[in-house]
Structure 1
């Protein structure tokens, strides 16, 4: 007799928003590691006698490794899945922070913080947000990208006052140990929440080979170099100066480090609003023009900063933090949208390489800032130089051509009430 019982439905791999929430937790945790180096400049100089340039070298290596690992991590997610890569990244950042508590020589800071933490944070950075958005969402991709990018901002800035307080009350080693414990606590939650959409067999192409082949194809096109150039300036004018040198620069003017960290946290709060708003605008406006406006305004704020820094927090300095916060990470959604428009299914890997340029720019200015402070006793030339770079990036953004055969702005969905999860078939590699 034929069995008429219904077949069990296959278990769904997850819902888009559950996956996005798990990804956000991983991004928040990794983001907390990104700005601790700025708080460590003074303590490592005073406690261990290291020069600011040697600490800056560790930050340079961290940012370069962060950027270099991003495209390979994006390609590896196609082979191993997002969950395994995200979990491995949390293990790396936790190990790096834990080992950092035992440091006695500058080379150890380069290895533990520069290499291990750089690898981990690079794997679950904006390229991770781009991959989650590409695989799980069809409509409102700009908005979702903005939300996940804002998660990184939360990790980078909201925890700064707490970490600064831990350093003042206990030691820099206690702050590093707290981050290691945070990574360990986030690991099981991320493992449970992050999934890949149900699809066919995983790509058999080696992740490193795919990342390099994608780079070779993209490097033959003009838009890639324009996007990489503008994003390098983005890194130089954010991670390179603000996230690494704002706290010590404010301290040079007599401001307590805890107060400077609170200002960075205020930047982070407005970062969330600015990034989400930028994602919303990216779904509706020309991303090239958005980038030009963002870079031009950011350059003006940086040029004004040397005139605003004092020992006390006043209205002009608060206004700077608000404006800079709205602009700080707003460049990410339009840059991802332009990568998607020009490079299609390869966009996450291409954006990984564009992010590598971001970190090269950030690392170069982080090192140059420490060197300038040691040589001239002031960070003022760095602020002015970063502002000039932003003006150049605004002009570069306007020269970026529209992609032929594709709209820069994603079209609105035909049926808004349908599920926003991607179809079951995986995106094809181009």
Structure 2
């Protein structure tokens, strides 16, 4: 691989993108595992659904809160070192999980340690890698990396659900740890921090850019960036729409769809396959969204994405009642829109706050996303206990998506961003 240095025929950044894709894929696949564990843990330990949902809620929140600080870690310590540390922590939490006997231990391993470890490999990682390695086709590359989160479900959930049903949830844990260790070795050997490490310029650039040393404290810099961002309405509108995005995706569907299917006699493996099919179609939808964000007004892309997602969620309770055909229709329609909102939101935040701060600003926007997801993860479980079904959380999520679509078009036009920052 060293022979590719400086070669005009091959850009090493594609290897970096492939490794980053794999890291995001594994992280998202592991992050989605609690949706498979809800019923097995209920049956084995007698824990309540709201109690298990609270662990998922804490993990989702910390996954998001870690994002802005992850951006600072990536810039200060480098991409390779940060990912290696995150994978090692995640492997440790998974290997100890089969030994747990109490809910507080599950909270510590998956809520705290798992949330922070996966948070270091969240969407901020994709943004940082894209900005460092690419000038041309940034939207498309970011779309591919964002889609890896859905692809993680595509690959992991059906497999892990099958292992859980056939051999138990502990065996599924050990299998997951094996994937993580293999990826850790790949990252340690072949990951590179920036183009200058291999004597190359960013893709689409004319010259090699020397590394810019990170300035400031890795804990204070994200807070200072947040202090600057909150003064602008664009930040609040993007954070608000992303709150509703998280509420209507990984917090709700990603956490509770398998359990909701179980209420209608749909097996875990089949329900996990629905999530996997969503992942397949989101791989297409989110990659296409990155391509579209390079060409069209991102505000109106978000308007349509949130509006169509809202329609699909209102339809979901009927699909569960009607059967497999209707659930497949929902799965395909919803899957195309699962996280297609990320590339337009990243573009709007980058235009608003600049390339240098894009990672940390978007990290804070993701915090809002994960707060929304955290609320849905716990709230949907609690409402299931109160009302006896998931109809209320599903339909309410649909209506908040309609509200998010209206918020999106109120974001300032891109040509006014630079002026707004100077004001």
- What TM-score does the superposition give when structure 2 sets the normalisation length? 0.91
1:268 aligned partner: 279
Q: What secondary structure, in the 3-state scheme, does the structure 2 residue paired with 1:399 have?
A: coil
1:336 aligned partner: 346
Shift in Å at residue 311 of structure 1? Answer: 8.0
Greater mean deviation of Cα atoms: 294-303 or 155-164: 155-164
Q: What secondary structure, in the 3-state scheme, does the structure 2 residue paired with 1:101 have?
A: helix
2:371 aligned partner: 360
2:48 aligned partner: 51
Q: Does 1:102 align with 2:105?
A: no
Q: What secondary structure, in the 3-state scheme, does the structure 2 residue paired with 1:205 have?
A: coil
Aligned residues: 399
Question: Structure 1: how far apart are the matches of 2:146 and 2:25?
Answer: 9
Question: Structure 2: how far apart are the matches of 1:353 and 1:234?
Answer: 14
1:427 aligned partner: none
Question: Structure 2: how far apart are the matches of 1:160 and 1:166?
Answer: 10
Question: Structure 1: how far apart are the matches of 2:406 and 2:64?
Answer: 24
Question: Structure 1: how far apart are the matches of 2:417 and 2:30?
Answer: 37
2:207 aligned partner: none
Contact residue 255 and residue 311 of structure 1 kept, 8 A = no
Cα deviation 1:362-385 (Å, max 9, x = unaligned): 011110011111122111100011
1:235 aligned partner: 246
Cα deviation 1:225-275 (Å, max 9, x = unaligned): 111110111111001111100001011011111111111111110010001
Question: Structure 2: how far apart are the matches of 1:112 and 1:382?
Answer: 27
Contact residue 281 and residue 332 of structure 2 kept, 8 A = yes
Taking the TM superposition and a 5 Å limit, the aligned residue runs for 1:226-375 are 226-310=237-321, 312-314=323-325, 316-344=326-354, 345-375=356-386
Please point out which of 170, 188, 191 is paired with 1:191: 188
Contact residue 248 and residue 401 of structure 2 kept, 8 A = yes
Shift in Å at residue 322 of structure 1? Answer: 0.5
Taking the TM superposition and a 5 Å limit, the aligned residue runs for 1:47-126 are 47-126=44-123
- Cα RMSD for the two superposed structures: 1.9
Contact residue 255 and residue 312 of structure 1 kept, 8 A = no
- In structure 2, list runs of 5 or more residues that go unmatched: 197-209, 419-423
Q: What secondary structure, in the 3-state scheme, does the structure 1 residue paired with 2:389 have?
A: coil
Q: Does 1:33 align with 2:21?
A: no
Cα deviation 1:60-90 (Å, max 9, x = unaligned): 1100000000110011111101111111111
Taking the TM superposition and a 5 Å limit, the aligned residue runs for 1:143-154 are 143-154=140-151
- In structure 1, list runs of 5 or more residues that go unmatched: 1-8, 408-430
Cα deviation 1:335-373 (Å, max 9, x = unaligned): 111111101120011011111111110011110011111
Contact residue 150 and residue 278 of structure 2 kept, 8 A = no
Greater mean deviation of Cα atoms: 247-256 or 189-198: 189-198
Contact residue 153 and residue 272 of structure 1 kept, 8 A = yes
Question: Structure 1: how far apart are the matches of 2:149 and 2:54?
Answer: 23
Shift in Å at residue 11 of structure 1? Answer: 6.5
Question: Structure 1: how far apart are the matches of 2:53 and 2:297?
Answer: 37
Cα deviation 1:151-191 (Å, max 9, x = unaligned): 12111232111010011001111112211121111001112
Q: Does 1:215 align with 2:212?
A: no
Question: Structure 1: how far apart are the matches of 2:317 and 2:59?
Answer: 27
Contact residue 153 and residue 275 of structure 2 kept, 8 A = no
Q: What secondary structure, in the 3-state scheme, does the structure 2 residue paired with 1:165 have?
A: helix
Question: Structure 1: how far apart are the matches of 2:320 and 2:44?
Answer: 26
Question: Structure 2: how far apart are the matches of 1:240 and 1:73?
Answer: 21
Shift in Å at residue 404 of structure 1? Answer: 4.3
Q: What secondary structure, in the 3-state scheme, does the structure 1 residue paired with 2:317 have?
A: helix
Question: Structure 2: how far apart are the matches of 1:292 and 1:138?
Answer: 27
Inter-CA distance 188–12: structure 2 relative to 1 (3 Å threshold): farther
Greater mean deviation of Cα atoms: 187-196 or 43-52: 187-196
- What TM-score does the superposition give when structure 1 sets the normalisation length? 0.90
Taking the TM superposition and a 5 Å limit, the aligned residue runs for 1:417-428 are none
2:200 aligned partner: none
